[in-house]
Amino acid sequence: MTTALRRLRNYIDGEFRDAADGRTTEVVNPATGEPYATAPLSGAADVDAAMAAAEAAFPAWRDLIPAERQKVLLKIADRFEERAEELIAAESENCGKPIALVRSEEIPPMVDQIRFFAGAARMLEGRSAGEYMDGFTSIIRREPVGVCAQVAPWNYPMMMAVWKFAPALAAGNTVVIKPSDTTPASTVLIAEIIGGVLDELGHSRGVFNVICGDRETGRLMVEHKVPAMASITGSVRAGMQVAESASKDLKRVHLELGGKAPVVVFEDTDIAKAVEDIAIAGYFNAGQDCTAATRVLVQESIHDEFVAALAKAASETRTGAVDDEDVLYGPLNNANQLAQVKGFIQRLPAHAKIEAGGEQVGEKGYFFAPTVVSGLRQDDEIVQHEVFGPVITVQSFRDEAQALEWANGVEYALASSVWTKDHARAMRMSKGLDFGCVWINTHIPLVAEMPHGGFKKSGYGKDLSAYGFDDYTRIKHVMTSLDG
């Protein structure tokens, strides 16, 4: 006897719909490797319908006073809290994530971030009015950009959806968002929640739309004539494709792409504390995080001691079932990602040494052991490219200059950290590290008030903070004659 798969559907203009041509794709639970649902494989007709709904809803949503948009976002945050267990269950099934960690580490910041942007809705500020030419006054209007086409990733489907829709809606834009084809369940549930709030408060449900699909669906969204802005969190390759597609009609583009965060550990560091924190920051969410602490540079005088301690920490870190409260992380998200991580390990050069892990765990699902690899050189593949798995690499450096050279010596520039008791050194390194974020004696904390975004091939634009809010607005200059 086979269990019937749950049917997920698009959410367009307040209605749940199948793909217009009826096509679907199976959705697999990565903890079991078995399908649990089907989702629409949306095509051009579905994208057209979603964009038309968002476009029709835009004028009224744009013209609301900010306090009214704030009410909607605050109500959405309340509903997220009220329906937290449903969201947790959906995300756990989506990603195989431990239930306890979704409850403690994802729901609270998501709710906080929505409430932050609810406040930001009332801060549409421009520079002060003034006279810059005799007889004329200039003022600045900050306005929404329009319909936003948004593509969310599979590593944090629920939280990344929040990072996209919350600032966009707060600023007065309408949204069409596409979750990853491997993780649509929680975004479809979010659509139900947001649609209910919009309906309850008397606003068009076309303000927020969800369409499921694959890369082709995303391409159709970005190339569609309606959106004024395209936002994606994903791989460098995907970001480049979006930027190229959007360039055809000069859409605004917001890209949060890959990372290869250097973790620079100096000899005066408290090794035990650093190892504890770095292991958590490297293995949390199975290392599937653009900011994960997976590229460690250790001063040579403490290298051996640090590696031994990190290998021990890896051996004591557990991955496993969603209902096991003692595990730090669940499986890799999909079979392709598991194969990618295995490939990096299989292609390690002869001079590399696996200190811990290095293999798949369990007979079902996509679990991979916490791994430490030492003996690496700066030009090794695993040092230069994003693994996106529970693999921490370790290199040994001589001095501050070499540490900075190697830290900056990759194509990514999203996040970094420096570990030292020397304040002046920490300040020099934070100046020299060419990354969008530098943590000192910590790695991975994020807050709604501070920006998240990188440089180089990590993309451009900011998530979170007032800077992230500003990215979803445009600036208009209004000049008036004082002659009447």
Q: Hey, which residues are catalytic here? A: 256, 290
Q: Is residue 438 a contact partner of residue 421, using CB atoms and an 8 Å limit?
A: no
Burial 56-87 (b: 16+ CB within 10 A, else e): ebbeebbebebeebbbbbbbbbebbeebbeeb
- d(CA 329, CA 101) in angstroms, rounded, equals 8
And the tokens for 358? 């290095």
H helix count then E strand count, the chain: 16, 25
Q: Is residue 70 a contact partner of residue 121, using CB atoms and an 8 Å limit?
A: yes
Burial 343-382 (b: 16+ CB within 10 A, else e): ebbeebeeebebbbbbebbeeebbbbbbbbbbbbeeebeb
Strand arrangement, sheet containing 174-178:
15-17, 10-12, 208-210, 174-178, 147-151, 229-233, 252-256, 459-460
Which residues fall within 8 angstroms of residue 64, CB to CB, at 6 or more apart?
172, 203
Per-residue CA distances from 323 to 55, 169, 319 (Å)? 42, 35, 11
Q: Residue 210's beta-bridge partner residues? A: 11, 177
